[in-house]
Structure 1
Amino acid sequence: MKAVLIIISILILVFVIVQLYAMQSQNNIETYQYKVNQKFEDFEIRTYDSSLFTSVKLSGNQYKDMSRKGFRTLASYIFGDNKMNESIAMTSPVSMSLEDSMTMMFLVPKKYSKEDLPQPNNTKIEFRQEPNRKVAAIKFGGWANDRKIKKYREKLMEALDKEGIQYSNHFYFFGYNAPFEVFNRKNEIIVDLNNENEAKESLQ
């Protein structure tokens, strides 16, 4: 019995150390920077500057399956599966377009330009420059799944319709945590807003 208690205590200690390390790592990781234009009860309006991403187009539209496949592909590239065998720092969030054929994207650290990045060994990986954008974003916690993504996408659409804010069909999922992180998990659904919204005083 004593041995069992010792093993349980060790496992708990390891778990706490891993979680503390994960939270500390999140504080040091480079993120996709944005400015909050306006906050509503369930969502906020943001602007993002143009940024460079690595991306891979996926064949399906189910988060459960495609997120694993996309993450493995892009993580392999940044961990050294490239022409220079160079490691590239992980960034946050991981982005997935919510379309019939999903695209997963990793933000490229700002120190790199498109010309500086090592060429991937996997020809399916591309470099993608996202333009300046204005979006609406809604947050939710816990582990993401297809049901939650659908729920919060619909909740965001309902909230935007209620406020009379026009939006595009370009929805994305943003995930901010590694799978092993348990506490303070953060996910978002964002949607690009139509250009005509920029003229609305209510969003300034």
Structure 2
Amino acid sequence: MVMKFALLPWKPELIFTGTSVMGINPKTQKFCSHMDFWDSIRQNDYFSFEGLLAVVKQLRIYKTPDLETPKYEILKRTSDYEVRKYDSFVVVETKGDTLSGSTGFNDVAGYIFGQNSLKDKIPMTTPVFTQASDGKSTPVLIQIVLPMNKELDSLPSPIKETVTLRKVAENIAAVTKFSGKPTEDIVLEKQKALRSALLRDGLKAQPGCLLARYNDPGRTWSFLMRNEVLIWLDDFELD
């Protein structure tokens, strides 16, 4: 279930996944009870402090730009992470330096600003991804997601040989969200904590991770920044 909390000016999304158990009166054949069991808490009594805290944590302010993002469906939300099913999308990418670095961004941004074989300008999207193949800080690829209506074979070719286009297949990822400036140490610590949570929960994590940065660091206060660490999963099945 996803719902907007309209009482706050920034209208945060409240996300709950789990199981609903409905009781039926055998005499009247009508529903007589209803209990929800959230994936994000262990104490599922009618009222629990843990449940209240799970709601309050989701009221935090994150500034997400009004730009197109990769489409995904939230399959499960625990206290530590979300499991999302991403549709396929296309990225323009080049080599970077570190997960939190910006080396290579001007090259991939140049592609969408017209440095391509057709000199086409392509709408900006969010987030900017940096992908590490082994979960460490180097080497990485820095990526900009292209609009969802763009297919790989219909896009102009990059002018720079170091810039390439690639289609990311539909896949399922575990995601943890955080605010603040995503320094290298913080990103690696978030990745480590997420991987530990997945191991604890018996999920099969692929090597490597992605850092998703949604905001322009020069125009966004750090406490409003939306950052995410993603780890792709193998063989995920809902309970």
- TM bucket normalised to smaller: 0.7 to 0.9
Aligned-pair CA distance for 1:159? 1.3
Structure 1 or 2: more helix by fraction: 1
Tell me the equivalent position of 1:172: 210
Aligned-pair CA distance for 1:110? 2.2
After superposition, give the CA deviation of every residue in 1:104-151 in whole Å (9 maximum; x if it has no partner): 111111232223222211111111011110110001101111011011
Secondary structure class of the residue paired with 2:90: strand
CA–CA separation in structure 1 for the residues paired with 2:121 and 2:213: 21
After superposition, give the CA deviation of every residue in 1:1-56 in whole Å (9 maximum; x if it has no partner): xxxxxxxxxxxxxxxxxxxxxx6x912x1101110001000101110011111111
Any unmatched runs of 5+ in structure 1? Answer: 1-22
Tell me the equivalent position of 1:5: none
Secondary structure class of the residue paired with 2:174: strand
2:129·2:212 contact (CA, 8 Å) conserved in 1? yes
Which of the residues 50, 55, 60 maps onto 2:93? 55
Please tell me the residue identity of whatever aligns with 2:99.
Y
Note if 1:74 corresponds to 2:111: no
Q: TM-score, normalization: structure 2? A: 0.67
Note if 1:130 corresponds to 2:193: no
Over the matched positions of the two proteins, sequence identity in percent amounts to 26
CA–CA separation in structure 2 for the residues paired with 1:167 and 1:111: 29
Bigger relative CO (Cα 8 Å, ≥ 6 apart):
1
Tell me the equivalent position of 1:8: none
After superposition, give the CA deviation of every residue in 1:46-92 in whole Å (9 maximum; x if it has no partner): 1001111111133x4x234xx32121111111111122222111111
How many residues of Structure 1 are paired with residues of Structure 2 in the alignment? Answer: 171
CA–CA separation in structure 2 for the residues paired with 1:161 and 1:55: 30
Distance 1:165 1:115, change over 3 A: closer
Secondary structure class of the residue paired with 1:128: strand
Any unmatched runs of 5+ in structure 2? Answer: 1-62
Tell me the equivalent position of 2:4: none
Quick check: which has more Rg, 1 or 2?
2
